[in-house]
Structure 1
């Protein structure tokens, strides 16, 4: 999409906050998300080219459509279906998850990935821990 390391870091940080918010709403200990199963997996998924989710997202960011990107990966992209399920769960629990919402818009509503990223990066700054 053409954004740099600062934008990527901002989205990773905000992603961790979203995961934590949803987990807390489900009764999880927020510290769980600071370990390997939370932050560790998030960073790996967002930075390693072996990640199917990352490769899928990069293809979408380069303008490829969802079906073509899935076919090119040739394996299950967990984030595709999980996005829909997480969105439903967050809505049911009243948890604000703007990254999940924008990804949903790209995957299921045809929003351009760059527009979704600009929407997220243009959000007003606030305390990441507030809902």
Structure 2
């Protein structure tokens, strides 16, 4: 179901579009972008590891590819989370 704005954003990013291009293709408010930034900042402030949120934030703000973010996550040492 492609009715979710944030899902459509993710699909556009996965296609290789920049954040700005993805935003334009969705054409609606994307609260997930700002929410991700807020969650990551709060986690950092409280010294909480949130590896998936960190990588989503990197894709959105540091212009790394979704594939690179997945590689970083898969390279992590296995541990209970």
CA RMSD, aligned part only?
A: 1.2
Give 1 or 2 for the bigger CA radius of gyration. Answer: 1
Alignment of structure 1 residues 1-131 onto 2, 5 Å: 48-128=1-81
Distance 2:33 2:74 in 1: 22
Segments of 5+ residues of structure 1 without an aligned counterpart are 1-47
- How many residues get paired? 81
SS at match of 1:111: coil
TM-score normalised by L of structure 2: 0.90
User: Whose helix proportion is higher, 1 or 2?
Assistant: 1
Consecutive aligned runs of 4 or more in structure 1 exceeding 3 Å deviation: none
